[in-house]
Structure 1
Amino acid sequence: MANPTPDAAAQDRGRLIESRSIEWVPLDERGGSPKSLFSLWFMSNANITTLATGMLGAALGGSFAMSAVAILLGAAVGTVFTAFHSAQGPQLGLPQMIQSRAQFGYRGVAVICLIVVFSLVGFNMFNQMLGGEILVAVTHADVNVLWYFLISALALVLAIFGYHWIHRTQKWLTWLFLLTFGILTVAAVVVVPLPAEQFGFSGFTWAAFLAQFGAAASYALGWAPYVSDYSRYLRPETKPGRALFYTYSGIFVGASWLMLLGAFVAAVFAGGDPIGAVRALADQVLPGSGTVLLLSALPGLVAVITVNIYAAAMELITVADSIRPVRPTRAVRLVATSVVALIAFVGSSVSTGEFLDNFSSFLVILLYVLVPWTSVNLVDYFFVRRGHYVISEIFRPNGLYGNWGWRGMTAYAVGLVAMIPFAVTAWYVGPVAEALGGADIALFVGLLVSGVVYLLLGRTIDREAEREAARADLAATGAQAVAFGRR
């Protein structure tokens, strides 16, 4: 295939509103640098919600040292899987869940998409709640519904502009973050002392350690179902290692930094809420700076809400397309993004309860439902089909991959069931978890079981026939392959 022309790629990136959604991205619209993945994923994690995640260990009685080790290990593990998904984007030019039709089927993938939409709406509800708390703290106007509406509206507008504007915005916001939270972090370490016992492991429990580890891992893993949505416009000759590196480094640095800062403020201000603790820390470093710091955090929250709205809209369109073929026009994407933003706005407006308690439970459930999917998808891509897919068949009902991918759905279900005895939630603790003193190792069980089951079932796939079909399909599309994924 011919390489995309720079003029064509630049023209697409210069459009005010993105025209594509779930269809394959033609080669003459590809461009950009994998380096942009660093700022996108760094800023997606460098926000107050991530900071709140780092406070969970302290809420369970853990020291700063315990929380720090759990955060670094959890973020390192969770980001591995997300980064490998990101490497698929340039190679396939497809949104993540459209590619998952190869494992779960044309219609079967809708089940996974609905789970992802639920998780994204949940994240946006929590993000909006924190944004509302910031505006209440700064303005002293307790009108949360208004604040949720304004935050949702700003995020929706950016999501409608689409892929290229989201990348640009995250790059600009990276500099704003470094000028504010970067200075705060350095100053806090120098100026604000931690009690000596916070540097030890007294009172260590596996339950608290694994709760913080699981929260960090699930937070990093939570991007996996849509991470390649943000790398699919890169050129196919992009080395997978580069996409993987910039995605991994962006998520790991952003998530680890803010979670460690969260553990720090939780150790200094025991029992404090995220907004109040951050404001108090900034004021302790420089009196009166807390308000400025909170305001500087708002654009990052809006941007991450945008990232989630954009991705959830992809999932909704995929669900609709799996039921009845949809022509993926700009208008369809506009409607889908508006629906997602509206659902999260309504959910935030009617929600009550303590933020950290709800968010901790949400992250645990998210981890459980995503782990089997990520295992199935990665095993299929790297070990079973080894990146060979017939792209046009992904868009055909009753095509090569079928309506219901029994192998993927079986492996997913078996992985979920296998985790139940090891699960630790606010509502249920499995018998094995109880025997382990409340330690949660369900993550590792789900990854191993789902991956092994799919690897065994994948042996029944005629992989050589699929590779031949992929080569024929590639040759038939011509130099630019502009017809892929279109009705």
Structure 2
Amino acid sequence: MADTMAAQPAATRGTVLVERRSIEWVPLEERRGNARSLFSLWFMSNANITTLATGMLGAALGASFTTSVLAILLGAAVGTVFTAFHSAQGPQLGLPQMIQSRAQFGYRGVALICVVVVFSLVGFNMFNQMLGAEILVRATGLQANVLWYFIISGLALMLSIFGYHWIHQTQKWLTWLFLLTFGLVTVAAVFLVPLPPEQLSLTGFTWVSFLVQFGAAAAYALGWAPYVSDYSRYLPPETRPGRALFYTYSGVFVGMSWLMLLGAFVAAAFASSDPIGAVEQLSNAVLPGSGTFLLLAALPALVAVITVNIYAAAMELITTVDSIRPITPTRLVRVIACSVVAVSALIGASVSSGEFLDNFGSFLVILLYVMVPWTSVNLVDYYFVRRGHYAVSEIFRPTGVYGNWGWRGMLAYLIGLFAMLPFVVTAWWVGPAAAALGDADIALFVGLIVSAVAYLVLGRSLDLEAERQAAAAERAATGIQAVAFDR
């Protein structure tokens, strides 16, 4: 592992066209950039048609625009908190998110969580490609979805292979494109597109529609958590955690809230459940004939978010394989992993069918349930148990101080998951506690609290002094270190 974690010569820094690193620790001398870049990255990762479609879920259940606004803003505010705190780990640890989770779940145990993340990212990309293909069908009139999937996937795959710094730079450029297109349309729509009076009140309010929209927004924000620090790990360790947290939070919250609120707006204005058609109607209402142009302007953002997901899923896939059988994380390995993820989503999109909003809503609910206990365990470990002190080299050793199976983290995860079951609300099954509450879904809060308390109790038996001694020894021997946030 020492060979793969060796520092890159200073002369080559900033000149490599294709990123060569993947799951290994990023040496301190390769860290560069500013936390401000996290705003544009996460703003544009959320400022896309998929996010807009998620904002239409409440309206599909009869929620008024006002009800959807409240649910979206509250859900985004809650879900983004956890994502932002994960992002702040990147500059201090210099590691991908799931590699760091080996400290809680073990060298092999983390593979179970990684598989869930890969599955969710492939699912997100299937939906993203479906929307992108629909845009191209409407713009060209050519019903060739598989061809469009191939083109969209190919562009996203190419950018993901170029890697971390290119992805950040692309998102900066796309931010300006978005502001010049969707920004102008949004402002004009407020003045030119009236809403029915009943949409501006809480008339017909139901907890079911409110909590479905709230849960979808929270899940969407929380969905970035398992890989958010993958995109902050190259920042200098001097980066203050508060700055990384602020720019990540503001980027996710502003981008996601804007597009979800726009989704709720078009659903209310045009009584539509079709995100592509509603956007086209909105643009034409503002400036006749501009609908196709606005849809095409939205396409680069979809390609970019597919890229973000491919890159992150490749990290999780490499981590999964490495957890089963240690491998050297070369550039070629990352290229292969990116390709596998891209092809999987392409095939999935090609064979999928059904109503978009119904499928996507169910997908987000399940994602929320399985990720909540993980995020709780990871954040409690980082901020309250180990307080940012990790022996980085030991994370890459099957027989290291963190072990193959982190029974404390895995048990706390399962306890949280089972505690949520009575409170879940899905299309297939409603828990008894949720049924007693009128199908109100509060599983998110139950899972967060129960998993956190369980891990805090179980973590009391950890030998933290031995871990800190191992970290000090590796820092003295190799220079490899996690820069603890409480230094």
The TM-score normalised by the length of structure 1 is 0.96
Are the aligned partners of 1:191 and 1:285 in contact in 2 as well (CA < 8 Å)?
A: yes
Is structure 2 residue 63 aligned with structure 1 residue 43? no
Report what 2:32 is aligned to: 31
**Take 1:426 and 1:12, find their aligned partners in 2: how far apart are those partners?**
51
**Take 1:320 and 1:250, find their aligned partners in 2: how far apart are those partners?**
32
**Take 2:194 and 2:459, find their aligned partners in 1: how far apart are those partners?**
55
Any gaps of 5 or more consecutive residues in structure 2?
A: 1-7, 483-487
**Take 1:380 and 1:277, find their aligned partners in 2: how far apart are those partners?**
44
Are the aligned partners of 1:46 and 1:255 in contact in 2 as well (CA < 8 Å)?
A: yes
Are the aligned partners of 1:420 and 1:442 in contact in 2 as well (CA < 8 Å)?
A: yes
Report what 1:418 is aligned to: 419
Is structure 2 residue 151 aligned with structure 1 residue 147? no
Distance 1:283 1:143, change over 3 A: same
Report what 1:105 is aligned to: 106
**Take 1:266 and 1:288, find their aligned partners in 2: how far apart are those partners?**
20
Are the aligned partners of 1:9 and 1:30 in contact in 2 as well (CA < 8 Å)?
A: no
**Take 2:112 and 2:132, find their aligned partners in 1: how far apart are those partners?**
31
**Take 1:346 and 1:362, find their aligned partners in 2: how far apart are those partners?**
18
Is structure 2 residue 211 aligned with structure 1 residue 210? yes
Output the amino acid matched with 2:334: R
Deviations 1:360-381 (A, max 9, x none): 0000000000000000000000
**Take 2:40 and 2:182, find their aligned partners in 1: how far apart are those partners?**
15
4+ residue runs of structure 1 moved beyond 2 angstroms? 7-14
Offset at 1:398? Answer: 1.4
Output the amino acid matched with 2:170: T
Output the amino acid matched with 2:426: T
Offset at 1:466? Answer: 1.7
Deviations 1:332-358 (A, max 9, x none): 000000000000000000000000000
Output the amino acid matched with 1:182: G
Are the aligned partners of 2:93 and 2:481 in contact in 1 as well (CA < 8 Å)?
A: no
**Take 1:114 and 1:275, find their aligned partners in 2: how far apart are those partners?**
31
Output the amino acid matched with 1:80: V
Report what 2:310 is aligned to: 309
Is structure 2 residue 17 aligned with structure 1 residue 16? yes
Report what 1:88 is aligned to: 89
Report what 2:178 is aligned to: 177
Report what 1:292 is aligned to: 293
Deviations 1:215-259 (A, max 9, x none): 000000000000000000001111000000000000000000000
Offset at 1:269? Answer: 1.1
Report what 1:326 is aligned to: 327
Output the amino acid matched with 2:464: R
Output the amino acid matched with 2:59: A
**Take 2:345 and 2:381, find their aligned partners in 1: how far apart are those partners?**
33
- Counterparts of 1:334-353 in structure 2, within 5 Å, are 334-353=335-354
Are the aligned partners of 2:273 and 2:357 in contact in 1 as well (CA < 8 Å)?
A: no
**Take 1:186 and 1:433, find their aligned partners in 2: how far apart are those partners?**
39
The TM-score normalised by the length of structure 2 is 0.96
**Take 2:438 and 2:151, find their aligned partners in 1: how far apart are those partners?**
45
Structure 1 residue matching 2:387: 3-state secondary structure:
coil
**Take 2:417 and 2:328, find their aligned partners in 1: how far apart are those partners?**
34
Distance 1:323 1:90, change over 3 A: same
**Take 1:311 and 1:156, find their aligned partners in 2: how far apart are those partners?**
12
- Counterparts of 1:450-465 in structure 2, within 5 Å, are 450-465=451-466
Are the aligned partners of 1:38 and 1:251 in contact in 2 as well (CA < 8 Å)?
A: yes
Output the amino acid matched with 2:349: S
Deviations 1:47-79 (A, max 9, x none): 000000000010000000000000000000000
Offset at 1:9? Answer: 6.9
Are the aligned partners of 1:10 and 1:31 in contact in 2 as well (CA < 8 Å)?
A: no
Length, aligned pairs only: 475
Structure 1 residue matching 2:430: 3-state secondary structure:
coil
Output the amino acid matched with 1:121: V
**Take 2:114 and 2:329, find their aligned partners in 1: how far apart are those partners?**
17
Higher mean C-alpha displacement, 20-29 vs 465-474: 465-474
Are the aligned partners of 2:314 and 2:337 in contact in 1 as well (CA < 8 Å)?
A: yes
Report what 2:485 is aligned to: none
Structure 2 residue matching 1:106: 3-state secondary structure:
coil
Report what 2:76 is aligned to: 75
Report what 1:52 is aligned to: 53
Report what 1:130 is aligned to: 131
Report what 1:226 is aligned to: 227
Structure 1 residue matching 2:279: 3-state secondary structure:
helix
**Take 1:167 and 1:12, find their aligned partners in 2: how far apart are those partners?**
16
Output the amino acid matched with 2:42: W
Structure 1 residue matching 2:13: 3-state secondary structure:
helix
Are the aligned partners of 2:60 and 2:273 in contact in 1 as well (CA < 8 Å)?
A: no
Output the amino acid matched with 2:256: A
**Take 1:250 and 1:12, find their aligned partners in 2: how far apart are those partners?**
27
**Take 1:51 and 1:119, find their aligned partners in 2: how far apart are those partners?**
19
Are the aligned partners of 1:58 and 1:266 in contact in 2 as well (CA < 8 Å)?
A: yes
Report what 2:188 is aligned to: 187
**Take 1:458 and 1:473, find their aligned partners in 2: how far apart are those partners?**
23
Report what 2:259 is aligned to: 258
Offset at 1:475? Answer: 2.0
Structure 2 residue matching 1:182: 3-state secondary structure:
helix
Structure 1 residue matching 2:204: 3-state secondary structure:
coil
**Take 2:208 and 2:189, find their aligned partners in 1: how far apart are those partners?**
29
Are the aligned partners of 1:99 and 1:394 in contact in 2 as well (CA < 8 Å)?
A: yes
Report what 1:485 is aligned to: none
- Counterparts of 1:376-415 in structure 2, within 5 Å, are 376-415=377-416
Report what 1:158 is aligned to: 159
Output the amino acid matched with 1:245: F
Are the aligned partners of 1:82 and 1:221 in contact in 2 as well (CA < 8 Å)?
A: yes
Offset at 1:14? Answer: 3.0
Offset at 1:481? Answer: 7.3
Output the amino acid matched with 1:464: E
**Take 1:358 and 1:448, find their aligned partners in 2: how far apart are those partners?**
28
Report what 1:277 is aligned to: 278
Structure 2 residue matching 1:397: 3-state secondary structure:
coil
Structure 2 residue matching 1:388: 3-state secondary structure:
coil
Offset at 1:11? Answer: 4.2
**Take 1:136 and 1:398, find their aligned partners in 2: how far apart are those partners?**
53
Distance 1:220 1:381, change over 3 A: same
Deviations 1:145-189 (A, max 9, x none): 110110000000000000000000000000000000000000000
Report what 1:247 is aligned to: 248
**Take 2:151 and 2:181, find their aligned partners in 1: how far apart are those partners?**
23
Output the amino acid matched with 2:28: L
**Take 1:425 and 1:39, find their aligned partners in 2: how far apart are those partners?**
34
Offset at 1:465? Answer: 2.4
Report what 2:120 is aligned to: 119
Deviations 1:5-43 (A, max 9, x none): xx9779433311000000000111110001000000000
Report what 1:471 is aligned to: 472
Percent of paired sites with the same residue: 77
